[in-house]
Amino acid sequence: MGLIAIGDIHGCARSLEALLARIAPSSSDHLLFVGDYIDRGPDSKGVIDRLLALREEVSCTFLRGNHEAMMIEYLDEGTFELWRMNGGVSTLQSYLRREDSSEIHIPAAHAEFIRDTKLYHETDEFFFVHAGLKPDRSLEAARRPPDEEELLWERGHLEAEEPVWEKPVVCGHTPHPKPINREKLILIDTGCVYHMKPGMGRLTAVHLPERTFVDVAYADDG
Rounded to two decimals, the pTM is 0.95
What is the amino acid identity at position 145? Answer: P
Q: Are 31 and 61 in contact (CB under 8 A)?
A: yes
pLDDT in tens, 50-68: 999 999 999 999 999 999 9
- Give the Cα separation of 37 and 71 in Å (integer): 11
Average pLDDT over the chain, rounded to an integer: 95
Burial track 52-64 (b if 16+ CB lie within 10 A, e otherwise): bebeeebebbbbb
From residue 125, how far is each of 28, 122, 166, 171, 208 by CA, in Å?
A: 19, 8, 9, 14, 9
Mind listing the domains of the chain with CATH numbers? 3-216 (3.60.21.10)
pLDDT band at 103; cut points 50, 70, 90: confident
Question: Residue 92: helix, strand or coil by DSSP?
Answer: helix
Mind listing the pLDDT tens digit for each residue in 142-167? 998 999 999 999 999 998 888 999 99
Residue ranges of alpha helices (H) inside 31-171 are 44-54, 66-77, 81-85, 88-94, 108-115, 139-143, 148-153
Could you tell me if 127 and 168 are in contact, meaning their C-beta atoms sit under 8 angstroms apart? Answer: yes
Answer positive or negative: Cα dihedral of 182, 188, 191, 195. positive
